[in-house]
Chain A
Amino acid sequence: DVKVTQSSRYLVKRTGEKVFLECVQDMDHENMFWYRQDPGLGLRLIYFSYDVKMKEKGDIPEGYSVSREKKERFSLILESASTNQTSMYLCASFYRGSLGEQYFGPGTRLTVT
């Protein structure tokens, strides 16, 4: 079974802090994604990566950056956390040869105070 793990389930940070969220998948998937999920808004794509060191902006990249130094690991960075970044963050991956069914991690609920 594909496994996608995220570094924390719950995280509380202060405004202005730099925040690192890490995602690891164990199935050699090329494509990895970071979403945030807010009530009534669904999942919104922040950034995605289709290969090591490759990244592309999603729909809401402002205030975020990403890093993909190894194929299995995709990190999301909040350079200076703000209260409007309080959200559920979900990482996902999928195999390039598939039709795109994504495998999700359990999510990180981030609260910025």
Chain B
Amino acid sequence: SQKIEQNSEALNIQEGKTATLTCNYTNYSPAYLQWYRQDPGRGPVFLLLIRENEKEKRKERLKVTFDTTLKQSLFHITASQPADSATYLCALGGDYKLSFGAGTTVTVRA
């Protein structure tokens, strides 16, 4: 069966450092991968999408890589800020449905 795994531990980092989150998957061949941010008590908010034929995508301080051979995506938040503290979800898609990972909670210390 399909499985999506994100960092099992929460991530605590110092302001200004780079946070790196992983998303690994098995038994899946997604056409694209998405990352969402979720704040406590709120719905997820779309951040970035990367297609299967793309290696890297950037948006401001965010960078996503996608390695279909390793079946892995890395999500980087550079120059992190306390406002980046949230849970980040990866989601895999191939049609109009998405399969989500459980998320990684990031806390950025000032």
Contacts and interface: CB of A to CB of B under 8 A. Distances in A.
Interface residues of B, number: 22
Interface string B89-110: 1010100111111110000000
Interface in A37-81: 40-45, 48, 50, 58
The A contact surface, by secondary structure, is strand
A67 to B, nearest CB: 19
Interface in B33-81: 34, 41-46, 49, 51
Nearest to B94: A100
B102 A104 contact: no
Contact of A42 (B34, B46, B89, B96): B89
B32 interface: yes
Interface string A70-109: 0000000000000000000010101010011111111101
B96 A31 contact: yes
B43 A101 contact: no
Bin the interface of chain A by size: 20 to 34
A102 B32 contact: no
Given A96-B96, A99-B49, A100-B96, A106 B42 contact: yes
A102 B102 contact: no
Nearest to B31: A99
Contact of B44 (A40, A100, A104): A104
A38 B2 CA distance: 18
Interface of B: 4, 32, 34, 41-46, 49, 51, 89, 91, 93, 96-103
- Sorted nearest first, the 10 A-B pairs with minimum C-beta distance are A104-B43, A42-B102, A43-B100, A101-B46, A42-B100, A100-B93, A104-B44, A107-B43, A90-B43, A106-B43
